[in-house]
Amino acid sequence: QKAAKTVDKYSLYVPKSGVFPKGFEVASLASGVKKNGNRDLGIILNTNKSRPSNAAAVFTTNRFKAAPVLVSRQVLDSGSGEGVNAIVVNSGCANAVTGELGMQDAQNVAGQVNTHIGKQNSTLVMSTGVIGQRLQMDKISKGINTLFDQKQFGSDFDSWLNLAKSICTTDTFPKLISSKFQLSNGTEYTLTGISKGAGMICPNMA
Amino acid sequence: TLLGFIVTDLPIKASALQTMLTAAANRSFNCISVDGDMSTNDTICMLANGAVDNSVIDEASPDFEQVKSQVTEFAKQLAQLVVRDGEGATKFVTVNVKNSANFKDARIIAETISNSMLVKSALYGQDANWGRILCAIGYSKLENLASLDESKINVSFIATDNSSPRELKLISNGVPQFDIDERRASEILALPDLEILVDMGTGSEECQFWTCDLSHEYVTINGDYRS
């Protein structure tokens, strides 16, 4: 048992390099929501202008859906998944079971990113952390402005890894994977994935 | 809470993207369990920005099935990392239910075993407690018994380190193996990765679920999450 516990999961499962899809930039920072001063706010941004960006999602089937779940679903439904250019994620506070005020907070977070990228209804929002507490909007709002105003977006490995770190809660390692694939006509494309989660895990999303 | 996103530079029609992601999630993120709890915030998003010069992929495109399959395998890798983290988890366990009459039943059985606190505790303690596995199968909330015939069921532990014998039979055609090789069982259960194989013998559908053990550390972590 002791041997198993001392396994260094970070060195086992966190990559040291990656390949990332064209036309995406990411940024993250510590807004101050997490008490330990770790990164807790991240944004992924589509910078490709050649075609509209499309989105899809699956959400919890829990009857008490958090505000960001409801807001993201509204965004996808209203545009039928078309024209989504950003995802903003915060950790440390789930903005769940926060009622009308929580809905307004989630809408304001998405709206603030929409304003920065100059497109309405273009941002999905995600939150994770403690249930039953309101978002600290002052910190998150300031953090979003800092990421855009100080042009902190990048597409290098460290930027992606830091984004993966920014969505962690009790995770012992950030979860980032990437791969290149080939279509039958020889065209190469890339998938990059980030996830978080360690506990409260038995999803049944639809 | 589970959060995640997958991004790609392929051009994919929104409806096709949703079909792809739903199919992938049903075989990956919806097949993991750390503690049986469902969050208020679970979300997996996918963005496709079309930066790669290729015709837009829709449900009728020749590449659709291939990309869907690649996204599914990719999603499985990402989902499995969540289980490998687990809260205090020391083991990564694949619960493989095969030869079931239908997928739905295979999934229900795999999920029930994966969520059993007693199975997970036994895995942590490296106890070859096949009785708890059979017990979980028995109380699975199946709609009927199309997939479950007590006389056809086989349950085994499978080693994942290429050691032999790779398979240790615990139940053979419904008959418990009372002369189980406890030494070999302990060796397999000491592995950080292992598989529980349940062969229903009633059909050809299968479902894999990924779970972990339950350790003292889980309680320590979750005893003061809010405070």
For A59, half-sphere exposure in the C-beta direction (CA atoms, 13 angstrom radius) is: 22
**What SS3 class is residue A169?**
coil
Tokens of B91: 């083991």
pLDDT at position A6, please? 63
B62 at A interface, C-beta within 8 A: yes
Contacts of A151 (CB under 8 A, 6+ apart): none
Is it the case that residue A83 has pLDDT exceeding 50?
Answer: yes
Is it the case that residue A114 has pLDDT exceeding 60?
Answer: yes
Task: Give the span between the Cα atoms of B92 and B42, in whole angstroms.
Answer: 21
pLDDT at position A81, please? 98
pLDDT at position A5, please? 56
Are A64 and A97 in contact by the 8 Å Cβ rule? The answer is yes
Identity of the residue numbered B143 = E
| Confidence bin at B46 (pLDDT 50/70/90) | very high
**What SS3 class is residue A77?**
helix
For residue B85, which of B155, B46, B129, B33 has the smallest C-alpha distance?
Answer: B33
Residues on chain B touching A54 (C-beta within 8 angstroms): 12-14, 17, 47-50
pLDDT at position A1, please? 44
Residues on chain B touching A82 (C-beta within 8 angstroms): 14
Mean pLDDT (chain A, rounded): 96
B224 at A interface, C-beta within 8 A: no
Query: Mean pLDDT throughout B189-194?
Result: 95
pLDDT at position A3, please? 46
Task: Give the span between the Cα atoms of B227 and B224, in whole angstroms.
Answer: 5
Tokens of A203: 């999803």
Contact B222 A124 (CB under 8 A): no
What angle (nearest 5°) sits at the alpha carbon of residue B61, between those of residues B57 and B63? Answer: 80
Task: Give the span between the Cα atoms of B114 and B209, in whole angstroms.
Answer: 7
pLDDT for B142-174, tens place per residue? Answer: 999 999 999 999 999 999 999 999 999 999 999
Q: What is the ipTM of this complex?
A: 0.96
